[in-house]
């Protein structure tokens, strides 16, 4: 695919994110004008996606987006009621388009019909929206407007006038004359103010009066009451204000022919609502600033160079003993803090919340739960964490596959669960957490778990296991990730073809990550994905060993101690009443050991303090603490104990992986005891 389309792909991702967020607002009771604004936003989004697909050369995607656009058009014309089932169908449609776009971006062939699985519900919606014979009517002629202005109304605007009048909402008109220099800004402010009070139906340009210079507009709005002093009008802008149509004056014969559907997407009546909804905010278009990745990388490189100059200047200013040097040092500290803030801001430009991934999963789980007849309680945790946008795009498809498998293979049908003494409703919990530079995802279900006996039998049959050997549960679980492995006797629409899990493993490993499976018979299963973040800002304790700078994440540092006593690897040191083993950092990393060290850092394995493993790690010098921009560097691919590096003035500061360092320290101490 032509690289010049990179911005188009990125804009499509943003449009899908906006569509999912807007659909989420329709799940809760909202005022009619807010619902209408949301539906209008969805209509514009799918219309734009249709155009994007045409630009990229995908006609089938364009046709599918056009069909979704038609559904949103029926909603905004008041011909479809906003119900839970309708929103579920729309979410499934948006998810199908989003998954299809991701496949196209990976270079896969375009399917014939992206919405094939939704043909029936979409067809039912379209049939439901067809007006019965004799029920189509147009009440726009009741507007107190000249014929030329009535003719200027579009079909959609006429439909909204009719629907709003039939729902009992008055139609008002405000005529204004705005100055040439600021008319666009002023018109936007007035439009926003009217939208906040009700629904802005139309903005019609008019001829300005002969005695006025500027541009004149008629703003047609629906709201209960409208006074000009409620609007942000400047002196001289208002020409007239009037009630264009009163619903109480609709002829009785027209009321009898009123459509049975509600004029606007339905909301819960106040008498039925358990509590008043929170104040609604209008769905507004968000201005998106997009930067090519190479420009951001160039800016990062330039900032890094400035940071190195800063370090060099700091070293020079530390040499003189003049007391006047203190002020420049303070300034350099402020420069350092400011540069790090900019680096963090640049990093944020690449990041997106994990919640964005979760929002793609929820509608799919809802649909599959209904299709399988398996009620599911879905729970998310850790949605506030962030990952790189590029990683999200590569992670979505394998993640969705794992969730499908959990619903298809993991969770039992309700009758089977009840017979086992379980709740009728299955549980699916998806959590995200950060472990150092790694992001960890856990997918847990309380279903039947993996049938290890059956998997072992199938593995022997396929030649993946050797007869007569003992096979650990871990080895048997790994069979599910082998190409062509499946215990399903029948192929379902979702899984059972023997393909997919091996692809998931390949894609996770291609991202530098790992996948781990475990389960307990009849109790449930766990799928854990561990993925490295290529960039992160970390708070570190900076130390030096063997002339090299190292950083230890502060979250794993229990205590720092330095004194006159010289310690060597294998000694015991007293820390807060505890006797802890000490090992030099050089011995942990395979560097030449020193004759002795006077400083050490107590490092703890992350976890509960009362069960954590603590070791004193000897270092040559304690430098200080600070935030560093951590990067994945190619030379670290096979470096034990190192999680990343941060370029500094005097070389690379290597950031240690606390868990790995603890393991290396324990291994080294055990070799000392065994005198190996």
Q: Is the pLDDT of residue 428 over 90?
A: yes
Q: 549 and 669 share a domain?
A: yes
Q: Looking at residue 552, what is its pLDDT?
A: 92
What single string gives the DSSP state of each residue in 337-391? HHHHHHHHHHHHHTEEETHHHHHHHHHHHHHHHHHHT--EEEEEE-TT-EEEHHH
Query: Would you say 441 and 398 are in contact if contact means Cβ atoms under 8 Å apart?
Result: no
The rounded distance, in Å, linking the Cα atoms of 243 and 220 is 10
Residue 314 lies in a domain: no
List residues bridging with 524 in a β-sheet.
520
User: When comparing pLDDT for 129 and 92, which is higher?
Assistant: 92
What does the pLDDT read at residue 101? 86
Task: Please give the backbone phi and psi of residue 91, each rounded to the nearest 5 degrees, phi first.
Answer: -65, -40
| Domain-embedded: residue 72 | yes
pLDDT of residue 584: 94
> How far apart, in Å, are the Cα atoms of 591 and each of 104, 284, 545, 546, 586?
49, 59, 9, 8, 5
CATH number at residue 105: 1.20.120.160
CATH number, domain of 569, equals 2.30.30.40
In this structure, of 23-32, 136-145, 536-545, 546-555, the range with the lowest mean pLDDT score is 136-145
Half-sphere exposure of 607 (CA within 13 A, CB side): 9
Q: What is the mean pLDDT of residues 561-578?
A: 86
- Overall average pLDDT of the 121-129 stretch: 78
Residue 523 predicted with pLDDT over 60: yes
Kindly list the distances between the CA atom of residue 26 and the CA atoms of 32, 52, 611, in Å, as whole numbers in the listed order. Answer: 11, 25, 47
Do residues 514 and 530 lie in contact, with contact meaning Cβ atoms separated by under 8 Å? yes
CATH code of residue 480: 3.30.565.10
pLDDT at 257: 52
Kindly state whether residues 362 and 475 are assigned to the same domain.
Answer: yes
First-to-final CA distance of the chain: 57
Q: Which one of 256, 276, 306 terminates a domain?
A: 256
Quick one: 511 and 370 in the same domain? Answer: yes
User: Are the CB atoms for 175 and 206 separated by under 8 Å?
Assistant: yes
Between CA 17 and CA 362 the distance in angstroms is 14
Pairs from 42-48 (Cβ < 8 Å, separation ≥ 24): 42/72, 42/75, 42/90, 43/69, 43/72, 43/73, 43/75, 43/76, 45/15, 45/18, 45/19, 46/19, 46/72, 48/15
**CA-angle at 98, arms to 97 and 104, nearest 5°:** 85
Distance separating alpha carbons of residues 3 and 8, to the nearest angstrom: 10
Element containing residue 658 per DSSP (H, E): helix 658-674
- Assign 649 a pLDDT band (cuts: 50, 70, 90): low
Residue 274's pLDDT is 42
In a domain, 155, yes or no: yes
526 and 620 belong to one structural domain: no
Residue 308 within a domain: no
Q: Look up residue 22 and give its two tokens.
A: 């807007």
Expressed as residue numbers, the domain containing 651 is: 536-674
34-48, 162-176, 271-285, 335-349: segment of lowest average pLDDT: 271-285
Residue with the bigger pLDDT between 135 and 432: it is 432
Q: Identify whether 312 is part of a domain.
A: no
Cα 128 → chain centroid: 34
What are the pLDDT digits (tens) for 143-198?
A: 888 878 888 888 888 888 888 888 889 999 999 999 988 888 899 899 989 988 88
**Distance between CA 392 and CA 355 in Å, rounded?**
11
CA-to-CA dists, residue 294 to 297, 301, 351, 353, 638, angstroms: 5, 10, 16, 22, 28
pLDDT in tens, 71-89: 898 888 778 877 878 888 8
Question: Within this chain, do residues 51 and 183 fall inside the same structural domain, yes or no?
Answer: no
How many Å apart are CA 531 and CA 432, to the nearest integer?
11
Asked if the model's pLDDT at residue 602 lies above 90, the reply is yes
Query: Which residues have C-beta within 8 Å of that of residue 36, sequence separation ≥ 6?
Result: 76, 160, 199, 264, 265
Question: How many Cβ atoms sit within 10 Å of the Cβ of residue 523?
Answer: 12
Q: How many domains does the chain have?
A: 5
Residue 239 lies in a domain: yes
Q: Which two tokens stand for residue 137?
A: 């009517």
User: Per-residue pLDDT for 325 more than 70?
Assistant: no
Domain termination residue (choose one: 128, 157, 183)? 128
Do residues 104 and 150 both lie within one domain?
Answer: no
Residue 619 clears pLDDT 50, i.e. is over it: yes
Same domain flag for 504 and 550:
no
Residue recorded with tokens 């290529």: 534
268 found inside a domain: no
Q: What does the DSSP 8-state code read for residue 496?
A: -
For the CA atoms of 327, 332, 338, 344, the dihedral, rounded to the nearest 10 degrees, stands at -150
Say if residue 540 is in the same domain as residue 519: no
**Is 440 in the same domain as 426?**
yes
Per-residue confidence at 496, pLDDT binned at 50, 70, 90? very low
Q: Which of 325-339, 378-392, 508-522, 587-601 is the least confident region?
A: 325-339
pTM of the model: 0.55
- Please answer whether residues 517 and 478 qualify as being in contact, where contact means their C-beta atoms are separated by less than 8 angstroms: yes
**Mean pLDDT, rounded, for 215-234:** 92
> Is residue 410 located within the same domain as residue 461?
yes
**Residues 327-340 pLDDT 10s:** 666 667 677 777 77
pLDDT digits 0-9 by tens, 130-151? 655 445 567 888 888 887 888 8
- 437 vs 441, which has greater pLDDT? 441
Q: What is the mean pLDDT of the chain?
A: 80
* Shared-domain flag, residues 552 and 570: yes
Identify whether residues 365 and 472 lie together within a single domain. yes
> CA 489, 492, 498, 501 torsion: positive or negative?
negative
Bigger pLDDT: 639 or 209?
Answer: 209
Res. 583 pLDDT band, cuts 50 70 90:
very high
Residue 102 lies in a domain: yes
Torsion angle, alpha carbons of 44, 48, 53, 56, to 10: -170
Q: Give the domain-ending residue among 516, 532, 548.
A: 532
State CA 407 to chain mean position distance. Answer: 22
The CATH number given to whatever domain includes residue 189 is 3.30.70
């Amino acid at each position: 695919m032509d690289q010049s389309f990179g911005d188009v792909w990125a804009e499509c991702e943003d449009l899908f994110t906006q569509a999912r967020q807007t659909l989420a607002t329709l799940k809760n009771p909202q005022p009619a004008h807010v619902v209408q604004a949301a539906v209008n936003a969805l209509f514009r989004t799918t219309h734009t996606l249709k155009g994007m697909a045409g630009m990229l050369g995908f006609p089938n995607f364009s046709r599918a987006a056009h069909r979704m656009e038609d559904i949103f058009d029926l909603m905004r014309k008041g011909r479809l009621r906003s119900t839970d089932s309708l929103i579920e169908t729309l979410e499934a449609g948006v998810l199908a388009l989003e998954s299809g776009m991701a496949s196209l971006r990976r270079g896969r062939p375009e399917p014939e019909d992206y919405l094939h699985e939704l043909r029936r519900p979409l067809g039912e919606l379209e049939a439901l929206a067809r007006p019965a014979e004799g029920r189509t009517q147009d009440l726009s002629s009741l507007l107190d407007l000249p014929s030329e202005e009535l003719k200027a109304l579009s079909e959609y605007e006429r439909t909204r006038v009719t629907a709003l009048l039939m729902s009992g909402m008055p139609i008002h008109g405000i005529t204004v004359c705005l100055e040439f220099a600021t008319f666009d800004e002023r018109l936007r402010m007035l439009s926003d103010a009217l939208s906040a009070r009700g629904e802005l139906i139309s903005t019609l340009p008019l001829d300005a009066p002969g005695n006025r210079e500027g541009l004149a507009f008629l703003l047609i709005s629906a709201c209960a009451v409208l006074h000009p002093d409620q609007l942000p009008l400047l002196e001289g802008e208002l020409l007239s204000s009037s009630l264009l149509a009163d619903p109480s004056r609709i002829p009785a014969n027209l009321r009898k022919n009123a459509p049975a559907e509600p004029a606007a997407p339905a909301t819960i009546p106040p008498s039925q609502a358990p509590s008043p909804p929170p104040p609604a905010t209008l769905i507004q278009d968000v201005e998106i600033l997009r930067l090519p990745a190479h420009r951001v990388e160039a800016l990062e490189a330039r900032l890094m160079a400035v940071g190195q100059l800063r370090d060099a200047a700091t070293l020079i200013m530390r040499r003189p003993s003049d007391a006047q040097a203190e002020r420049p040092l303070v300034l350099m500290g402020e420069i350092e803090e400011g540069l790090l803030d900019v680096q963090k801001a640049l990093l944020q430009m690449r990041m997106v919340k994990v919640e964005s991934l979760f929002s793609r999963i929820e509608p799919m789980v809802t649909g599959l739960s209904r299709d399988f007849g398996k009620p599911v309680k879905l729970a998310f945790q850790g949605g506030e964490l962030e990952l790189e946008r590029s990683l999200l795009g590569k992670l979505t498809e394998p993640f969705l596959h794992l969730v499908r498998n959990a619903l298809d293979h993991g969770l039992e049908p309700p009758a089977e669960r009840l017979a086992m003494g379980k709740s009728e409703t299955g549980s699916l919990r998806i959590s995200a957490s950060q472990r150092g530079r790694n992001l960890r995802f856990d997918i847990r279900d309380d279903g039947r778990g993996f049938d290890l006996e059956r998997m072992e039998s199938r593995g022997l049959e396929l030649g993946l296991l050797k007869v007569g050997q003992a096979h650990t549960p871990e080895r048997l679980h790994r069979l599910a990730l082998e190409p062509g492995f499946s215990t399903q006797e029948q192929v379902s629409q979702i899984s059972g073809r023997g393909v997919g899990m091996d692809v998931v493993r390949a894609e996770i490993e291609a991202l530098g990550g790992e996948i781990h499976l475990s389960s307990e018979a009849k109790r449930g299963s766990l799928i854990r994905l561990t993925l490295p973040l290529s960039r992160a800002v970390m708070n570190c304790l900076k130390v030096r060993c063997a002339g090299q700078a190292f950083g230890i994440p502060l979250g794993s540092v229990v205590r720092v101690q330095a004194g006159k006593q010289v310690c060597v690897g294998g000694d015991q040191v007293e820390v807060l009443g505890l006797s802890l083993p000490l090992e030099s950092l050089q011995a942990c990393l395979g560097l030449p050991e020193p004759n002795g060290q006077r400083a050490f850092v107590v490092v703890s394995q992350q976890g509960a303090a009362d069960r954590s493993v603590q070791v004193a790690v000897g270092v040559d010098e304690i430098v200080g603490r600070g935030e560093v921009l951590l990067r994945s560097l190619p030379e670290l691919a096979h470096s034990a104990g190192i999680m990343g590096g941060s370029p500094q003035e005097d070389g690379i500061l290597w950031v240690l992986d606390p868990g790995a360092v603890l393991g290396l320290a324990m291994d080294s101490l055990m070799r000392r005891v065994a005198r190996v």
